[in-house]
Amino acid sequence: MVHLNKSSAIILGLCLVIGLSSLGYLLANAAISVKEYERTVTVKGLSEREYKADIVIWPIQFSTASNNLEQMYQSIDSNTQKIKSFLISEGIEATAISYSSPAITDKSAQQYGSQSRAEFRYTASQTVTVYSKNINAVRAVMGKMSSLGKQGIVFTGDNYQSQIEYIFARLNEVKPKMIEEATRKAREVAEKFAEDSKSVLGKIKSASQGQFSINARDKNNPHIKKVRVVSTVAYYLSD
């Protein structure tokens, strides 16, 4: 009976040793597999394209001065109509032209006790705005504004409010193809890396899309927009 118990204990011990050894082997292989599976490469893919702007916003600002408020308003109205008529004669649609209320400054109210007097008591600025999709026509007119200057209209264009703005409004249309291109280029880079490292490129571990940026191609061609996006993709690698 004692001999049987000893034999059972030996068999049980051998089973435990074999079982633990097998478990250790399996765990070791699993750890190695997981470690290999975690090998990754992170790459970036760029898509960059040029498009013409869709809309132009052109603020045409002019100023005038007078000691007679009524005469100054008449001058503002006259200059506004001259500008509008000129734009229409050059092919700009009337519906694309708008204008704001004039900004009037009374310099006598700003003397603050100073004895010096300004030459003109009243000054005013007015903005005629062109909002158009016909960018070529608008840009053609821009080069002809000097003819209005010869008629006594004083244009001012040194402030932020008078800056010309070009808008690219078709971003949603071009997004899918650009994202596809950026992702494809990222995979090409990853495949080259895997080839050079004698690895096999696996599935995507993670991917993120950068923000789209829209900028003028250069300062001389603000109506041509450079649209770009960068995609970042992480791939698994294996031997």
In this structure, are 61 and 129 located in the same domain? yes
Any idea what the CATH number is for the domain that residue 126 is in?
3.30.70.2970
Confidence grade of residue 26 (pLDDT, cut at 50, 70, 90): very low
Is the pLDDT score of 11 beyond 60? Answer: no
In this structure, are 89 and 127 located in the same domain? yes
In this structure, are 142 and 177 located in the same domain? no
Domain termination residue (choose one: 167, 188, 219) = 167
The number of domains in the chain is: 3
In this structure, are 151 and 79 located in the same domain? yes
Q: What is the pLDDT of residue 10?
A: 57
Domain termination residue (choose one: 167, 199, 214) = 167
In this structure, are 123 and 136 located in the same domain? yes
Q: What is the pLDDT of residue 108?
A: 76
Range of the domain at 18: 1-38
Range among 11-15, 55-59, 206-210 with highest mean pLDDT value: 55-59
In this structure, are 64 and 159 located in the same domain? yes
Of 180 and 19, which is predicted with more confidence? 180
Task: Read off the pLDDT of residues 133-150 as tens digits, 9 standing for 90 and up.
Answer: 999 999 999 989 988 888
In this structure, are 82 and 127 located in the same domain? yes
In this structure, are 125 and 175 located in the same domain? no
CA 108, distance to chain mean position in Å, is 46
Task: Read off the pLDDT of residues 81-112 as tens digits, 9 standing for 90 and up.
Answer: 999 999 999 999 999 999 988 999 888 766 55
Spatial separation of the C-alpha atoms in residues 18 and 13, rounded to whole Å: 9
* H helices present in 110-163, as ranges: 135-142, 146-149
In this structure, are 34 and 44 located in the same domain? no
Any idea what the CATH number is for the domain that residue 204 is in?
3.30.110.170
Calculate what percentage of the chain has a pLDDT beyond 70: 78
Q: Is residue 12 helix, strand or coil?
A: helix
In this structure, are 81 and 104 located in the same domain? yes
Structural tokens at position 76: 């503002």
In this structure, are 120 and 144 located in the same domain? yes
Give the mean pLDDT of 50-67.
95
Task: Read off the pLDDT of residues 116-131 as tens digits, 9 standing for 90 and up.
Answer: 566 888 899 999 999 9
Q: What is the pLDDT of residue 34?
A: 44
Domain termination residue (choose one: 167, 183, 210) = 167
Give the mean pLDDT of 46-67.
95
Give 1's DSSP letter: -
Find the farthest-apart pair of alpha carbons in the chain and give their distance in angstroms, rounded: 130
In this structure, are 151 and 173 located in the same domain? no
